[in-house]
A = this chain, B = another copy of it.
Amino acid sequence: MMRVRVAILGATGLVGRAMLAVLEQRGFPVERPRLLASERSASRTLRFRGAELAVEPVAADAFRDIDVALFASANPVSLEWAPRARAAGAKVIDNSSAFRYDPAVPLVVPEVNGDLLQAQPGLIANPNCSTIAIVLPLAALAPAARLERLVVATYQAVSGAGSDALDDLERGIREGLDGPPPPRAGGLAPFAWNVVPHIDRFEDNGYTREEMKIVWESRKILGLDRLPVTATAVRVPVRVGHGAAVMASFDRPIEPERARELWRAFPGLEVVDDPGTNAYPTPLRAAGNDPVLVGRARRDLSDPNGLVFFVASDNLRKGAALNAVQIAERLCAVDAAA
């Protein structure tokens, strides 16, 4: 099999490090990924297959001879470096939201709309972490009924806000053992011992940007441009693993047992749904694992055509790094090891 020359931009962050780990775990045919970061984060090393790889500051020639660049960077960095990486001949898989809403840029969950990769696009957007976990079970139900409305409430881990937020959570939890947890920087409500219905900035319509990502991206990935969607995105004091309560309406009823059948047959999903043995998805059970867990399937008591369920997934893996590497595998026709 051909070797793929891979770069990771933002290699030292939580998602960047998860990308490196996923490349190793899946036996991705890369020799030495080029690890790139801002000046601030460079000059450290990261372990890959037993070797210490130096992290280099991203610079003009950083993407020379690179086939696939995995971007685990914030929007401004992606906006600056994606055009340069593409000019250097690299295909870019970008985990930021900078390009997700550009109609020319495919937004891909391989199990759902991986066919978009056959056109060999030069820039692919990796979707929002919660959205990935929500669209997988919905796409699996497409053979049974047409989705007509989507209502979501999330339970999102603090690692989704980055490593500084995670450090802050640990501090807040410790301080909160014997007193009130301190506010976060800027006087924001603590994540520790709390739940906070505020992720990313507020939009003019009263939704947060995170909530609108779920609206826009579920439509785009599922190819349902006018799908009515509403979402409430909430941070919970969990390290890794996003949960979501999903209320989905269809053009006809779907029995929970039929839903579970379709989910079991769909790649990327693991059905954890047995009330008798207290089996259901939780973030702790999802963390560190590849599949999106889906369960708690039941009829929507408020809608004869509605199905209610709960998902949990590792927001750093399927929600970010794993999905990006899976895109790279498809793009490079690599046989996935996992």
Contacts and interface: CB of A to CB of B under 8 A. Distances in A.
A58 interface: no
Given A206-B299, A296-B206, A297-B206, A198 B230 contact: no
Interface string A185-224: 0111110011111100010011100000001000000000
A137 to B, nearest CB: 14
A230 B194 contact: no
A301 B207 contact: yes
A310 B193 contact: no
Contact of A151 (B180, B206, B243, B247): B247
30 contacts: A150-B302, A153-B153, A155-B155, A155-B195, A155-B236, A173-B177, A181-B284, A188-B278, A189-B278, A189-B280, A189-B284, A193-B238, A193-B284, A194-B238, A194-B283, A195-B238, A196-B280, A197-B280, A197-B296, A205-B301, A230-B301, A230-B302, A230-B303, A230-B306, A232-B247, A232-B310, A234-B243, A234-B245, A234-B310, A247-B247
A197 B244 CA distance: 10
A238 B181 CA distance: 11
Given A278-B198, A306-B230, A193 B301 contact: no
B181 A170 contact: no
Nearest to A295: B197
Contacts of A34: none
A201 to B, nearest CB: 9
B308 A215 contact: no
A258 to B, nearest CB: 13
B151 A197 contact: no
A297 B285 CA distance: 33
Contact of A237 (B177, B187, B196, B236): B236
Q: What is the interface residue range for chain A against chain B?
A: 35 or more
The 7 tightest CB contacts between A and B, nearest first, are: A206-B298, A228-B302, A153-B153, A202-B275, A232-B245, A153-B245, A194-B284
A197 B228 contact: no
Given A189-B280, A194-B241, A230-B303, 17 more contacts: A153-B245, A155-B155, A189-B282, A193-B284, A194-B238, A195-B238, A206-B256, A206-B298, A228-B301, A228-B302, A229-B302, A230-B306, A232-B308, A234-B243, A234-B310, A237-B238, A247-B247
A190 B285 CA distance: 10
A91 interface: no
Contacts of A283: 194-195
Given A197-B243, A197-B296, A238-B193, A230 B308 contact: yes
